[in-house]
Structures are given as C-alpha cells and as structure tokens.
Amino acid sequence: MKNTLIAPSVLAADFANLQRDIEMINASEADWFHIDIMDGVFVPNISFGMPVLEAISKHAKKTIDVHLMIVDPDRYIKTFAGLGANILTVHYEACSHLHRTLQAIKAEGMKAGVALNPHTNVALLEDIIKDIDMVCLMSVNPGFGGQSFIENTYSKIEKLKELIIRKGASTIIEIDGGVTDKNAKKLVQAGADVLVAGNFVFKAENPTQTIVDLKKITTV
C-alpha cells in the first residue's frame, strides 16, 4: 500500500488566524507544511518572507517544505536553514548553477528539491536527477493559489518516473497546484508521492476532514 504525503499550502491559510490554522494542520492527518515564498520577480506576486516563516516554524510540528519562487536562491539558503526549513526547493528556471545550489542546500542539512514550471521538460533533469531528493512538478504556473490544474501534468509525472527508475535515483515526486479530490488519485497512480493542496484544504468547510478524505483517496 502506498502512503501518499499531503502537504497543505499555507499560502491559502487565514493570515489573521495563522496560529489557529497551523495548529489545525498539526492535529490533522497532513504530513507536511508547504510554504510558498515569492519575490515578485521570478513570479508576478509577493507572498511572505522570513518573519512569517519564523512565526510558522515556532508552532509547526511537521516537516517544513519550503518552495522558493525567487531569483538567485543561493543568496538565502543559509537563512532558510536557520528558519527551520527541512526541504528547500528551488526552481530549475531560476538557477544557473543548479548542481552547486543543490550541494549548498544539502550542506545546510536540508533535503534538496527542484521545481519545474509547466513548460519545462523533465528530460532536462537527466544529468542531475541523482542529486535531487524531490522534484516538484508545477501543475499551474507558479505565483498564485486557486488556479486550475494543467492536464499535461500526468504525462510529465510518467516521464519523470521513468527517468528516476532508469537512473536508479531515489527522488520523490511532488505535485503543486490545483490539486483536488478530482485529480488526486490519478496523480498518485501516475507516480506522485506528495500532493500539495492549498485552496482545496483551507477553503473547505471542514479542512481537517478534507485532509482525511485526500489521504483516503490517495492510499492506493
């Protein structure tokens, strides 16, 4: 039986009640906290930064999965390690020296993730896949929560899975954007290991139950 990890995206939380929402995730069946950091340059939106992550870290009792949507992320690797990030994901499109960046993340004791925009071919990871702990496939164009899922993601997952197996890598696959109860099972069947869900969880009438439902749907 496969236990798919569920990572609610805090971007969709109620920031005026952030502690309440964090405690809800702590007490739920969710596995990770997904934290979206946007700089207004790599993506056309600014989310939140270090002081907010510091506040989240103080209360979060689960793995902190930080998704950096920023240019030149090397500048902040040490900072995010100090703020409690357990997994640090950078964008393929934002790194000129991806191998060096991944080594720097690992040197700080974090797992290293690489995110791909919807237009970026998974084959570009051929020579680096063994150095990547997690690939985050964007199933929306990064920058905003609440967008609709891009259907081409399924075939990207299959291609990525094939690459991981062929290279003998132990990389896991995360899907980020537009995840709902409608696509969750199919994503897992295609090879996803971690599902990020923002609006679908936090805007639900009963977020705790929604997480239970997602866990159930994705246990295959």
Residue choice 5, 176, 184, 207 for contact with ligand DX5 (CB under 6 A):
176
Quick one: DSSP state of residue 198? Answer: S
Among 24, 37, 67, 81, binds Zn ion (CB under 5 A): 67
Distance between CA atoms of residues 4 and 19, nearest Å: 26
CB contact at 8 A, 28 and 208: yes
82 annotated among ligand-binding-site residues: no
Among ligand DX5, Zn ion, none, what does residue 22 contact (CB within 5–8 Å per kind)?
none
Is residue 194 part of the contact set for ligand DX5 (CB under 6 A)? no
Residues 31, 65, 133, 176: which is the catalytic one?
Answer: 176
CA 195 to CA 192: how far, in whole Å?
Answer: 7
32 close to 38: Cβ distance less than 8 angstroms: no
> Are 157 and 139 within 8 A, CB to CB?
no
Residue 9 interacting with ligand DX5 (CB under 6 A): yes
Alpha-carbon gap, residue 174 to 45, rounded angstroms = 22
Q: Is 36 in the site for Zn ion (CB under 5 A)?
A: yes
Q: Report the site for ligand DX5 in 108-147 (rule: CB under 6 A).
A: 140, 142-147
Cα–Cα distance measured from residue 176 to residue 7, given in angstroms and rounded to the nearest whole number:
9
Instruction: Considering the complex, state which of residue 39 and residue 133 has its C-beta at the smaller distance from ligand DX5.
Output: 39
31 noted as active-site residue = no
Structure-block tokens of residue 93: 């499109």
| Contact window for Zn ion (CB under 5 A) among 46-54, 65-73, 125-133, 210-218 | 65-73
Residue 176 falls in the annotated catalytic set: yes
Length of the chain: 220
User: Residue 145 to residues 47, 93, 174, 177: CA-CA distances in angstroms?
Assistant: 10, 20, 16, 7
> Which among Zn ion, ligand DX5, none contacts residue 25 (Cβ within 5 to 8 A by kind)?
none
| Residue 13 Cβ vs ligand DX5, minimum distance, rounded to whole Å | 10
Residue 179's binding partner out of Zn ion, ligand DX5, none, with CB under 5 to 8 Å set by partner kind: ligand DX5
Tell me which amino acid residue 102 is. Answer: L
* Residue reference for tokens 């995206």: 9
Binding residues for substrate: 9, 67, 143-146, 176-178
Contact positions toward ligand DX5, by CB under 6 A? Answer: 9, 11-12, 34, 36, 67, 140, 142-147, 176-179, 196-200
